[in-house]
Chains A and B, each alone.
Chain A
């Protein structure tokens, strides 16, 4: 399938204490994911408590930014007032932990496939830097 690259402004997310690291780490080129300081488990979306060990010390840490496409879809419905379809949404599994998946976008790619290696990059939207992925 052919995906045209369109430079469009994404809808900025609401930034809260909990969500700000994920949405703004891109300013320093970092994908920040909440990590339990007790057992090392990563969680996304970020949680106030680790589901594995019930530790409460979860800190946003930079991951490698590398992962694989777990699934994807070419969206053709105008859900967003600022994004013109078609565009590719995907679940990307980060290499740090099996099952650690992000809902995200795939950009700059003519043919997305499941299992394809991808790397994070960031697109500015308001105060936020939206993590998206490309081959």
Chain B
């Protein structure tokens, strides 16, 4: 039996999510954790595992709102297993680890969380470049004399993709516009005002060809989910979301290939895709690697937006993604997929009782993805 079959997502929870909340990020984390535990019908006494990314490891301000030990201490958890760190298989690697722990019998109910306070951190530091200047990542050091920032890599990848495929900015605009349209129906999303293709084309350029609306939005907030033993009598079957397949492989293509190798389902079975959209080009990469759009032809596929809309053949970023919902680093996508599969999408619910959702996180050499089922 594959590990995925031994576990389910039994509950989901979230904190306040917003810009410049100036709240203690440990409390945001705890808010999400307690909500998820309650949603699963459990108590803190039931939680015997914790899994997070990146935890208390060193990072730029705002990247991590709490570590495993913060949560253990604050909630008084009695843990049999835990893990947290920056070198996971993408942000959703925290889920992969939790599933393995449950399947391996090390824990029955694992609290998985991601919390961020990047918006408040930027507010305190003055601006985005001050945060980057504090990064000790080697890749940043090699770029400093040239004045590179995080967007540089997204912009270079986008330019190259447009060169190779002929994709246009008007086509990229559809990813941002679709996300914004979906965000309008999501009370948790930070940017909900309508946006048009013209708004996108008229937006400030950050690093050509990448404009403001190709970038996701730093926020403060936390999301938690509970990964439980599938055979636990405590699990509420009406809420449980199944894990059909998971992938921990490195790289967009490798991650997608591993995901499909662990299931009989095919790309055409996917009812909705919550794809990682730190930059729009990353969403394009994931769509093509997963076989959800033809290789090199995502531009024409998304043109006009109807195929990726809520009522289209491949709804994406149904809660607004990170572009309009805020950078909850893969866990916003995870939350949205669970809510959609549970039929709790409200005004943004994908019609037709969706049963299969793909969720991806990260980019380049930091990737993971999940195939969730109802």
Chain A residues packing against B (C-beta within 8 Å):
1, 10-14, 19, 23, 45, 70-81, 83, 85, 87, 89-91, 103-105, 114, 125, 128, 130, 132
- The reply to whether B145 and A73 contact each other, CB–CB distance below 8 Å, is no
- Asked if A73 and B155 make an inter-chain contact with CB atoms under 8 angstroms apart, the answer reads yes
B interface, by DSSP: helix, strand, loop or mixed? Answer: helix
Cα-based distance from A60 to B207 in the complex (angstroms) = 32
B161's closest neighbor in chain A, by CB?
Answer: A71
Assess A74 versus B143: contact at CB under 8 Å? Given A89-B148, A91-B156.
no
Task: Give A104 to B148 CA distance when docked, in angstroms.
Answer: 9
Whether B145 contacts A12 by the Cβ 8 Å rule is yes
With a cutoff of 8 Å between Cβ atoms, the chain A residues found around residue B204 in the complex are 76
User: Whose C-beta in chain B lies nearest to the C-beta of A1?
Assistant: B208
Total count of chain B residues near the partner, CB < 8 A:
28
Question: A80 touching B208 by the CB < 8 A rule?
Answer: no
B156 adjacent to A76 (CB under 8 Å):
no
Residues of B within 8 A of A73 (CB): 152, 155-156, 159, 207-210
Residues A79 and B157 in contact in the complex (CB < 8 Å), given A12-B145, A89-B146, A103-B142: no
Closest to A70 in B: B160
Interface residue? B314 (CB, 8 A): no
| Contact residue among B146, B157, B159, B207 (Cβ-Cβ distance under 8 Å from A103) | B146
User: Can you list 11 pairs linking A and B with CB atoms under 8 Å apart?
Assistant: A10-B147, A12-B145, A73-B159, A75-B155, A78-B129, A79-B129, A79-B147, A89-B146, A103-B142, A105-B146, A128-B145
Smallest beta-carbon distance A10→chain B, Å = 4
Q: Is the CB of B148 within 8 A of A103?
A: yes
Which residues from chain A contact B208 at a C-beta distance below 8 Å? 1, 73-76
A44 CB to closest chain B CB (Å) equals 9
On whether the beta carbons of A104 and B146 are closer than 8 Å, the reply is yes
